[in-house]
């Protein structure tokens, strides 16, 4: 059984005025944590994490995996929306990840694309998906944060879409009252194969994963407390145990987010990183 990971962290989003500070640290920290559990991991940081490179890395991870392999993908960066193009979203919007080149290429990585990548997986390959980003908020432009330490990891459409494409995106998005705000990875989650999703916040309108500073170090609040508690977990601890442990720290007065765990009972009761 092979154990492989892909850790993505993006602070810099040229052209958007929506830079983050803790995502590269998060990806690096996840990679180090996975290494202690004998995972062979690949890092994609900032300019390395273009849409093309993210797709290539996920595709390679999936295609090279074999039955009984364990894969982990972590993402720390902005989430966003795009207008649904195939009618499969009740809110008219597809959740999406923001790659490094989202502004220059006008192209997010959508949940539909994630699903297609994951569908190529061989039977018996399990996935653990860790998302420290959010996909809920307003589709209108976001100004720079007043608090230099805290920022939601969500990028409104107007911060990366060109003006000639923006009116249609906004007109279709604003009309919809129901916004799922689901993690982009949820679309590719296969509960029958034992997949598990750990995300930094709840689904729905105005639920955010926060980029912040803890102990004078930029990080995602969810990632910080997940890794802090991981160090104290017993050798036979399960994902459910771990989720309960870091959920004691969140939500807090500074970081009002509620981490989520999604997967079947068997997956939740599996030993951490096995």
* Of residues 135, 138, 150, 2, the one with CA closest to residue 65: 2
* Digit-coded pLDDT (tens) for 8-36: 999 999 999 999 999 999 999 999 999 99
Average predicted confidence (pLDDT) for the chain: 89
pLDDT value for 174: 47
Higher pLDDT, 146 or 232: 232
pLDDT value for 94: 82
Active site residue 243: no
In the predicted structure, residue 167 carries a pLDDT above the cut 60: no
Active site residue 78: yes
List own/partner pairs for 265-271 with CB under 8 A and 24 or more apart: 266/194, 267/126, 267/191, 267/194, 267/195, 267/196, 267/239, 268/196, 268/238, 268/239, 268/240, 268/243, 269/238, 269/239, 269/240, 270/194, 270/196, 270/238, 270/239, 271/236, 271/237, 271/238
d(CA 57, CA 172): 32
For residue 177, what pLDDT band results from cuts at 50, 70 and 90? very low
Range scoring the smallest mean pLDDT among 75-89, 169-183, 192-206, 209-223: 169-183
pLDDT value for 135: 83
pLDDT value for 143: 59
What does pTM read for this prediction? 0.93
Domains of the chain: 3-268 (3.40.50.1460)
* Digit-coded pLDDT (tens) for 48-77: 999 999 999 999 999 999 999 999 999 999
Give the active site residue among 7, 98, 134, 201: 134
Range scoring the smallest mean pLDDT among 151-165, 183-197, 250-264: 151-165
Give the active site residue among 7, 23, 78, 98: 78
Mean pLDDT along residues 236-250: 98
């Amino acid at each position: 059984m092979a154990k492989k990971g892909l850790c993505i962290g993006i602070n810099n989003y040229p052209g958007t005025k929506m830079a983050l500070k803790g995502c590269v640290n998060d990806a690096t920290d996840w990679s180090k944590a996975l290494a202690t559990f004998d995972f062979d991991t690949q890092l994609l940081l900032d300019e390395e994490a273009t849409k093309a490179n993210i797709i290539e890395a996920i595709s390679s991870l999936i295609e090279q995996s074999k039955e009984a392999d364990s894969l982990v993908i972590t993402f720390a960066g902005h989430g966003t929306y795009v207008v649904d193009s195939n009618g499969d979203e009740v809110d008219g919007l597809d959740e999406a990840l923001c790659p490094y080149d989202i502004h220059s290429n006008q192209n997010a990585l959508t949940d539909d694309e994630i699903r297609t990548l994951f569908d190529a997986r061989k039977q018996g390959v399990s996935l653990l998906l860790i998302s420290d980003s959010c996909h809920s908020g307003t589709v209108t432009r976001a100004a720079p944060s007043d608090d230099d330490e805290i920022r939601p990891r969500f990028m409104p459409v107007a911060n990366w879409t060109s003006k000639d494409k923006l009116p249609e995106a906004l007109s279709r998005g604003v009309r919809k009252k129901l916004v799922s705000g689901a993690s982009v990875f949820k679309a590719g989650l296969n509960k029958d194969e034992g997949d598990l999703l750990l995300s930094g916040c709840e689904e729905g309108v105005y639920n955010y994963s926060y980029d912040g500073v803890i102990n004078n170090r930029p990080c995602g609040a969810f990632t910080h407390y997940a890794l802090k508690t991981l160090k104290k977990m017993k050798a036979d601890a399960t994902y459910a145990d771990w989720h309960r442990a870091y959920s004691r720290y969140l939500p807090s007065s500074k970081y009002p987010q509620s981490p989520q765990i999604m997967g079947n009972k068997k997956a939740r009761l599996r030993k951490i990183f096995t």
